[in-house]
Amino acid sequence: MSKQYDSIDLMKFIFCLCIIGIHTNISSIFPKALQLLIGRGFFRLAVPFFFVCSGFWIGKKYLKQPAELDIIIQKYIFRLLIPLIIFENINNLLEIIKQLLRQTPKLTICHDILKHILFYPYGALWYVQASIIAIIIIYPFLKKGRIQIILIISIFLYAFALLCNNYYFLIENSYLQIIVDSYMQLFISARNGIFVGTCFLILGIYVGVHIESPKLYQYTKPLLFISTILYFFELLLVNQHVPLDDGALFVSHLFIAPLLLIILTKSSLHLKHAKYLRNLSTGMYFLHRILIAVIDILSFVTRKILPVTALFFIVILMSILICTYSYTLKNRFFNQLLR
């Protein structure tokens, strides 16, 4: 019997709530000190953890069936591509409506939508696009068994992403600042498959491939504790500076996300509804920005703005209800879309 990873499913669901918390700005209800620790600290671990989890399952499948790598990668890409196309189009339509309501020039809207389709999809779908791009980059290295090489390359790529985010202050008033500014103006963000997705996905694949090695579990708990302490100090450091982009990328994520995953793989936690939570974490991720956009449009039209707490819980409740209903449908496509 294959091992169940209920603790990972639970953590993914918790981090999905964190993503909703980010996009509804729920951390603003807390004192400033807690806003830093919760909103910019704990919540921002969500996407790195999602990446390493995805890589973990790829790595496990590759470990069991290395000859089936092509099929594993194809299924992974196809599994992500369909919801990306569907939900990106919905989010683009809602964004067009929002910009038209704000009386944004139509040419500006077209330019904006095109840039986001290419480089940074609306609806928090950058993560999905990044996963597809990342696995395409990783594939030839994985095919030749050169995981360490792409891992090293990806860390250097992530270093550039850090300069385009929380560590922008390191390059201010330098020639490198001109390069970063030009890049950001053209590509919107460095949070993509090349600079972020590749690094965290290959970390997850590395864990999956070495899941049966006792060495993988040596010192993981003390290392996670140390990494968490360092994360706290890193938060204090970067909080003194104005980030470029959204201030979501940290050095500590490179250690905390995979270490947390490794520890959870050893957990004996058993949950009756773990599969349901796993499905919800996917469905709610796809739905939440759509629901927020609809509420934003209604708020603009009615001139009534929901408090962030109400917005947070309404989005969670509505997304859970929609997902749960879709899981009861007999139509296989709609039944599987939000899983």
Q: Reply yes or no on whether the pLDDT at 268 is more than 80.
A: yes
Could you read off the pLDDT of 84-108 as tens digits, one per residue? 999 999 999 999 999 999 999 999 9
Residue 301: both structure tokens together: 């039209």
Q: What is the mean pLDDT of residues 128-149?
A: 97
Nearest to 289 by CA among 126, 123, 66, 143: 123
Cα gap 197→126, rounded to integer Å:
10
Q: Reply yes or no on whether the pLDDT at 5 is more than 50.
A: yes
Burial of residue 87 (CB within 10 Å: 0-12, 13-18, 19+) is: buried
Q: How confident is the model at residue 209 (pLDDT cuts 50, 70, 90)?
A: very high
Residue 168: both structure tokens together: 């922008």
Which of 31-35, 162-166, 332-336 ranks highest by mean pLDDT? 162-166
What's this model's pTM, rounded to 2 decimal places?
Answer: 0.96
Which residues contact residue 123 at a Cβ distance below 8 angstroms, ignoring those fewer than 6 apart?
87, 88, 90, 91, 286, 289, 290, 293
Q: How confident is the model at residue 3 (pLDDT cuts 50, 70, 90)?
A: confident
Could you read off the pLDDT of 215-239 as tens digits, one per residue? 889 899 999 999 999 999 999 999 9
Q: How confident is the model at residue 2 (pLDDT cuts 50, 70, 90)?
A: low
**How many percent of the chain have pLDDT more than 70?**
99
Residue 28 has what pLDDT? 96
Q: Reply yes or no on whether the pLDDT at 1 is more than 50.
A: no
| Average of per-residue pLDDT values in the chain | 96
Q: What is the mean pLDDT of residues 304-317?
A: 97
Q: Reply yes or no on whether the pLDDT at 30 is more than 50.
A: yes
* Per-residue CA distances from 138 to 48, 90, 296 (Å): 17, 29, 38
Residue 260: both structure tokens together: 């947390």
Which residues contact residue 69 at a Cβ distance below 8 angstroms, ignoring those fewer than 6 apart?
62, 139, 142, 143
Could you read off the pLDDT of 31-54 as tens digits, one per residue? 998 999 999 999 999 999 999 999
